[in-house]
Amino acid sequence: MLSKSQARAFFLIGTGLCAVAFIGLTVDTFSRIPAQTKHDDITEEVKRGKDLWESNNCMGCHTLFGEGAYYAPELTKVYERRGEQFIRGMLTDPAAMYPGERKMQKYDFSEDDKTALVAFFKWAGGVDLNGFPPTPPLAQGTAQTAKLDTQPLVFKQTCTVCHALDGQGGTVGPSLDGVGTRLDADYLRKWLRDPTNVKPGTKMPKLPLTDAQIEELVTFLGSKR
């Protein structure tokens, strides 16, 4: 059993060591913040995007960095998952991206607003969050993973929102299995450039695709026979 002087010494030494450890860990944490938050990548566009995120109360439906509501998808890694074209499409007309399904409000964002929000999401996705959010495993196993790896990035980020291929993807639009046997390259090219010119009244929106992305999709879809 400790004497009073020993107990006092134990308390003071223990408290001192814990305080030193706490201060050291705090200093170490703060020294890591600039690198982990990608401070050098915070441009004026990123700042403006953050202001738009807050002023439009996006956290009322979405989460970012694990904070916010859980009504709509988590957006920390949305740039990595969906890419710029998809984000711009959602910010332009959510209902057109998900006909009859998506409940997101249509905001009157200018092109500069969209560019700022894309920059903000791109920055957010690059922040080092020690593995958060985790990458979910694919339920279909390695064979399905191999199939997904052969798909162009623009297809995985944009087309699978509404269409399915090899059993993976959305159900809003028709399945793209065997699309290369049904449609030729010229038709696919015209359709991807502006679906409403090919079929007035179609639910498929005009996607903000570059000429290079259209050609990549034409080649990929044409191979699905």
At 74, give phi and psi (nearest 5°): -75, 135
Question: Is the pLDDT at 142 greater than 50, yes or no?
Answer: no
pLDDT for 21 equals 95
Please state the pTM of the whole predicted model: 0.67
Percentage of the chain lying above the pLDDT 90 cut: 48
How do residues 14-37 score in pLDDT, each as one tens digit? 999 999 999 999 998 888 888 888
Count of CB atoms situated within 10 Å of the CB of 88: 17
- Sequence-distant (6+) residues with CB within 8 A of 179 are 188, 221, 224
Which of the two residues, 95 and 107, has the higher pLDDT score?
Answer: 107
Confidence grade of residue 212 (pLDDT, cut at 50, 70, 90): very high
Interval 91-109 mean pLDDT: 79
How do residues 40-91 score in pLDDT, each as one tens digit? 999 999 999 999 999 999 999 999 998 999 898 899 999 988 888 889 888 9
For the ranges 8-22, 87-101, 105-119, 143-157, which has the lowest average pLDDT? 143-157
Task: Identify whether 200 is preceded by a cis peptide bond (ω within 30 of 0).
Answer: no
Which of the two residues, 144 and 34, has the higher pLDDT score?
Answer: 34
At 132, give phi and psi (nearest 5°): -100, 140
Q: Which domains does the chain have, with CATH numbers?
A: 39-126 (1.10.760.10), 142-222 (1.10.760.10)
pLDDT for 13 equals 93
pLDDT for 140 equals 47
Question: Is the pLDDT at 114 greater than 50, yes or no?
Answer: yes
